[in-house]
A and B are shown apart, each in its own frame.
Chain A
Amino acid sequence: MSITVEDVSKIANLARIDVPEAEKPHLAGQLSGMLKFVEQLNEVNTEGVQPMTTAAQMKLPRRADAVTDGGYAGDLLANAPEATGNFFVVPKVIE
């Protein structure tokens, strides 16, 4: 599978990254190379093998249903570019 310039534009848009037009062919080549490298895995027969989502030999840790956190709006907002009345303030976004 190879990545086209259109694919690069779409991925960049989804990731909200501004990629200059001139750089796209170069990036398409690089991304294609990465995919090709990973495609070597297709040589292994995985018939009947469950997809593996982790290699960690442990169980998912659980927490009890108790309120143990929160109550520090000031800390959360300390690095926000803009805040008012303990709200984050962002440029207007309406879909």
Chain B
Amino acid sequence: MSNLISGNTGKWEIVIGLEVHAQVSSKAKLFSGASATFGGDPNSQVSFVDAGFPGMLPVINQYCVEQAVKTGFGLNAQINLASVFDRKNYFYADLPNGYQISQYKQPIVGEGFLLIDLPDGTTKRVGIERLHLEQDAGKSMHDQHPSKSYIDLNRAGVALMEIVSRPDLRSAEEATLYVKKLRSILRYIGSCDGNMEEGSLRCDANVSVRKPGRELGTRCEIKNVNSVRFLYAAIEYEARRQIEIIEDGGKIHQETRLFDSVKGETRSMRSKEDAHDYRYFPDPDLLPLELDAAWVKSLGESLPELPDAKKARFISEYGLTPYDADVLVMEQERAAFYETVAKGRDGKLAANWVITELLGRLNKDGKDLADSPVSAENLGGLIARISDKTISNTLAKTVFGHMWDEGKTADAVIEEKGMKQVTDTGAIEKLVEEAIAANPAVIAEFKAGKERALGFIVGQVMKKSAGKANPGMVNEILVKKLKSA
């Protein structure tokens, strides 16, 4: 494998496990009726339950339970019909109760797996250890005052799904592919919006290094990496740091580290590891979470077609390459857009146009697919005109430009600009004859054996027809005329 990295004492293997915190796309919090929306005024979205007031009791949000179960199905995982909420005890200013309600020994979702597509064309199966529901903490701001911290509890109590992978990942690249795939599945299911900027998807990475084939090394946990790019940088840095320490005769101490995105390095966060004694115990305020088997089954059946199945179908139904299929199924809206374009038309041609022309143009103009000036129906209309040879692929790009600027259909643009491809044999013959007559020197070259001279004549004809002549027919007629002359 090419995943190994070189140190002074030979090759090293990186071993990575990821813990992803995905915020459930609920309106209200996990155990209270306060809003879970991002960006409210400080402490405006907090109930007495979230603020840990005496006598307040948590009542679970059914929608959050449903999303956890659906996500479990998306991860091919076991759904546990009985699970338990525990208290994870620690002191911090943004945790008003002094404990976080989480799930410890009996999570709602057990073992599963997720598939990632590697750049070499192979597929890798990454084990999922568990998915559990838990509360988010509040937000501390340390930079507002020299000796004080400011606390906003709006986020406190928001529902999170913690998704824990097995230590199956072997490079920073595999880790980023895993997060992208997980994000895609969450968005298909609708259980999390996957917005990393707003913190709806956060990632902790457990990283260790070892000589290939040896037992696992001591791991360090890198906290709160908030973009896929930073995840890559954090793992690369951390692996090199550990290799350097071991090769210099040192030892890795199990610790929590923080990624500093400005400096591009990780640094130690907590020195005293014995502070990590969470004293979990079942929350006496909450009964076990029992799920109805029939209800769980119906949720499994309600799932949309997920990325892996859609990709396989695009390859077999539309004849796409795995790469093109991957690009198209990444986002559900994109896949749906493509299917509207491709329906009953040339699937490969449609994929080229959606990926290269449309997505390329959207990207250049900084627009989302939802704001595309060219609708899926209209792009489909353009594909149809290329396929029935009304216009050439080259001319189609000009037509696309007009469709983008004017929001018109392909047919309207072609009609208005008189861009219809000339397929009338008589008309093309006339143009070819004129071109032959006008370029005797080139014709002489061709007859002397210079085959390439033909291209020049074809170019002349295309130019005269303002790009509207069918290039295949021009070529054919030209060759026929020269051979018979």
The interface of chain A, by Cβ under 8 A from chain B, is 10, 14, 16, 53-54, 56, 58-71, 73, 76-77, 82, 84-95
Contact = CB atoms under 8 A, between A and B. Distances in A.
B62 A65 contact: yes
Contact of A86 (B43, B92, B142, B284): B43
A87 to B, nearest CB: 4
A41 to B, nearest CB: 16
B439 interface: no
Contact of B148 (A60, A66, A69, A91): A91
Interface of B: 26-28, 32-35, 41-49, 51, 59-65, 84, 89, 91-93, 140-142, 144-153, 269-270, 274, 277, 279, 282, 284, 286-290
Question: In terms of DSSP, what is the predominant structure of the interface of chain A?
Answer: loop
A58 B32 CA distance: 20
B150 A84 contact: yes
B44 A53 contact: no
Closest 7 CB pairs of A and B: A68-B33, A65-B63, A69-B33, A70-B34, A69-B47, A87-B150, A73-B43
Contacts of A62: 59-62, 65
Contact of A70 (B47, B146, B147, B290): B47
Question: In terms of DSSP, what is the predominant structure of the interface of chain B?
Answer: loop
B150 A89 contact: yes
A86 B289 contact: no
A92 B287 contact: no
Given A65-B63, A73-B41, A91 B288 contact: no
A61 B59 contact: yes
A63 B92 contact: no
B43 A69 contact: no
Contacts of B49: 69
Contact of A63 (B44, B61, B147, B279): B61
A60 B33 contact: no
A56 B287 contact: yes
A92 B42 contact: no
Nearest to A82: B148
A60 B286 CA distance: 7
A82 B48 CA distance: 18
Given A53-B288, A70-B35, A73-B42, A93 B59 contact: no
